[in-house]
A = this chain, B = another copy of it.
C-alpha cells in the first residue's frame, strides 16, 4: 500500500520534504556530461538529498521534452534500488477517458514502476478510476494548484462551494474506496489547505509552491498537518536541485534539502 510506505517514510525518516526531480538540460551543471546526463545529475541529487526526504517526485515533462524516457526509468529504478524506503511520485498530471486513462496508468505504474502518480480531475471521476483501481498505488488528484491562474477554474464558486473544495469532497466521499487517494494543494493558498484538511481527514496532501513560488511554510504547517503531525509532502524542486551550479552542486543540494527539512521540523513542533 502506498499510504503505508509513505507513513513509514514520514516517521522513520522524520521528514515531510519531497524533492522534485525536474532536470532541465539548460540548468544542469556543465560538469555533468554525456548522453545520460539527466540520469547522472539525478543520481547525485538523489544520493545527496535522500537522508532529508520522505519522497521523490520526478516531473515527466522534463524527460519527454527531450526524448529521455529511458533516463526517467533509470532514475526511478535507482531510487527503488538504493533508497528503497522512499516512495516515488511520478508527476504527470494525466487525465483522459477510461480506455486512454488505462494506458496512462500502465505508463506510470507498469512501465515506470512509480509508487504514485499525479492526475487531473477536470474530466471527472470515471477518468480517475483506471488509476484508482491500482489499490497498492497512490493517486494524487489536483485540487488547488500553486500557480496564480489556478483561480480561473479551481476557485470558482458554485452553490455547494468552490470547485477545489468540491474536488476535495469527491476525493474523500467517492474516489477513496481503496484508501489510495491524495490531493495536491498549493502552498500559495494556505486558507485552501485549511479547508481541505477539514474535509479530508488524514488524507496525504502534496504541497508545491514553497520554494521559488514563495508559499509561507509556517501557515502551510499550521493549516495542513494531520492530527498526528504528519499528512503533508512539502515539495521543493528548483530551489534544491539547482542550489549550486558548480562541481559541488550535489553537496549544495543536500545542504539545502537538510536546511528545509529541519526548518519544516522546527515549525512542526
Contact = CB atoms under 8 A, between A and B. Distances in A.
A65 B170 contact: no
A2 interface: no
Interface stretch (A120-128, A193-201, A253-261): A120-128
Contacts of A159: 157
A8 interface: no
A147 B124 contact: yes
Nearest to A97: B147
A122 B124 contact: no
A123 B98 contact: no
Interface stretch (A36-44, A102-110, A218-226): A102-110
Interface string A157-188: 11100010011001000000000000000000
A93 interface: yes
B95 A147 contact: no
Contact of A142 (B98, B110, B122): B122
Contacts of A24: 99, 103
A138 to B, nearest CB: 19
A150 B123 contact: yes
Interface stretch (A11-19, A56-64, A81-89, A244-252): A56-64
Given A95-B93, A156-B158, A124 B149 contact: yes
Contact of A122 (B110, B122, B146, B158): B122
A148 interface: yes
B66 A121 contact: no
A100 interface: yes
B153 A61 contact: no
Contact of A107 (B61, B110, B121, B147): B61
Contacts of A192: none
B107 A65 contact: yes
Interface of A: 22, 24, 59, 61-62, 64-67, 69, 93-101, 103-104, 106-107, 110-111, 120-127, 142, 145-154, 156-159, 163, 166-167, 170, 208, 238
27 contacts: A22-B99, A59-B103, A61-B96, A62-B100, A62-B103, A64-B103, A64-B104, A65-B103, A65-B111, A66-B111, A67-B69, A69-B69, A93-B95, A97-B147, A97-B208, A120-B120, A120-B122, A120-B123, A121-B122, A124-B147, A124-B151, A124-B153, A124-B154, A127-B149, A156-B163, A158-B158, A163-B163
A-B pairs, 8 with minimum CB distance? A124-B149, A126-B149, A124-B152, A61-B103, A122-B122, A65-B103, A65-B106, A97-B147
